[in-house]
Structures are given as structure tokens and as C-alpha cells.
Amino acid sequence: MEIRNLGTSGLRVSAIGLGCNNFGGRIDLEATRKVIHKALDVGITLFDTADVYGERGGSETCMGQVLGDDRKRIVLASKFGIAMDDVDVKVGASRRYIMSAVEDSLRRLRTDWIDLYQVHMPDPRTPIEETLRTLDDLIRQGKVRYIGCSNFPAWQVTEAQWTAKACGLNGFVSCQDEYSLVFRKPEAELMPAMRKLGLGLLPFFPLASGLLTGKYRRNVALPAGTRLANTQRLADRYLTERNWQIAEKLGDFAESHGHTMLELAFSWLLAQQPVASVIAGATKPEQLEQNVKAGSWQMTAEQLAEINAIANS
């Protein structure tokens, strides 16, 4: 497994990370245990979760029950900010909420520290300086090692880093955002800003909810139990005519080069700057072996250019 620095920070993460959003929700404790143990076996070190995953707390709770001493072997990432209740109290990025949210996550995870603590989404009601000062306090207390953000537009990432520098605070080391061969919005503004600021990108939905795995066929019934078969809003979003055409052309390209669509999708992402680790979820242990293998295609400049031409068509 390739290990990379997260941006220009000293935090080192596996090139393929484990998205833990299925734990405590789509899969139960025992299934979670099998996935976590397999991830450790194949060399995955970045485990990314959030307090809201697993129907509010389920993912962190399952991970805390399973990891034990293995917690010391991994880079444990979590997030806060999305509502954890229905009354608009446990939500946001204020000092008051962060100080309680981190304690709740530490308790569920059964750990004394979180390696990467991320603001899950911008909080328009709280000044970014308040958020950063609170996170800086958590770093100084040893409860958090590094901080990052998710779903922030480029201007807010830049504002946060400028504020941190001006106030002498620890700044973000990473951004976690959707990025794939059929969703390339970050390339316009976010990724150039991140390269300038020295931040690492952790792409989520790298397979466009499964479209880029090659297991779906146009005008053929969606496989039972898959995400796109079970979630209509995702199917409506990803199964567009344009995306079908791109996926089919990419599949042909991968096959002509002796690779799978999965290998193309992951290896292309890992060739993009400043991608540090590709976050991919799993519900079965065997998926992890496929994910790790999928990041090993060392693409040439010519191959990358051909892939970009297809994805931009």
C-alpha cells in the first residue's frame, strides 16, 4: 500500500482509505468487524467516519467496539457539524457545540484522540475564527491532531486558511469533497486553491455511487441491493445520458488496456494533484482487496490525456 502525506502536513495516510459510512447502518456490528479487520490486513490506514454516519452515532459506536488496540495502527478521521438531533441544537461549528461534539465522538470511538477532525459542512451562523480557535484548543489539549474541512467552496477554504495564519492558529490540512470522472467541479476553483495553500484532497463518491464500477448496464435492470437501485435520488443524479456515455467509453478504454473500470477510476484520481487518498466505502471484505488493487495502475501522460478527453466529451 502506498502511503502519502496529506497535503504539506506531516500526516501520512494510505492511498486508498476506508469510508465508514456503512457501519451501524447498512451493515451491522459483525459485518463491520469483518470489513475493519480486512482493511487492516490489506494495509489501509485511513479510516474516515463522521458522527452522523450510521443513523447518528452508529458508525463511531461500531468502530469503537471493534478497533481495540488496533486503533493505534490507523489514522482515525471523523467529522462534525451536520445535525445530530431534530431540534437544531446539536449542529454547526460553534465553540459551544464543538466542545460537546468532540467528547461525544471520543466516547463512541473509545479513544483519547482523533487524528483528523473535519468540519462536515460550512456553518453560516458561526464566524470561521470561532471555529478555528476552538479546533486549535482541541489540538493543544491533545484531543485532536489535525483538522480539515468538507464541502467548503474555494473562497471559504481560502478565508479559513488566511484567518488561521493571521490569528496564529492551526489551519486545515485537508478538504474532503466529491470528485470523480463524472463530477469534476472541484477542478475549476477548489483544487487550484488547495494546491496554492498546500492542502490535501480526500475525494468521496469516487465511483459516482457505483456507476464507475462497471457493474451497471444501460437499459438493464439495476442489480438488487445496490446503492443506485435502492436510492432513487442518487439514480436520478448519476444515471444521466451523458454519464452513461462517459462510463461506457471509459469501460472500453480500461478493457483495451487490460484493466477494470474500478482500476481506471481509482488510479486516475490518485494521479490528480492534490489528491492524497481515495475514500471508498465497503460492505464486504472482498471489496477492500479490489479497492487496494484498483489504485495500482501507473498511468502515462498519454493515457491520462485520453481519459480526460473522454470524461470531458
Cross-sheet strand order for the sheet of 46-48: 200-204, 174-178, 144-150, 114-119, 75-80, 46-48, 16-19, 278-281
CA gap 79, 117 in Å, rounded:
6
| Cα–Cα nearest to 119, from 152, 142, 89, 141 | 152
Rg (CA), the chain: 19
Instruction: Check whether the bond before 206 is cis (ω within 30° of 0).
Output: no
Instruction: Decide if 17 contacts 47 (C-beta within 8 A).
Output: yes
| Residue linked to cell 476552538 | 134
CA gap 282, 224 in Å, rounded:
16
**Catalytic residue at 179?**
no
Nine cell digits for residue 257: 488496456
Q: Which amino acid is at 283?
A: T
- Out of 53, 97, 146, 238, the active site residue is 53
Catalytic residues: 53
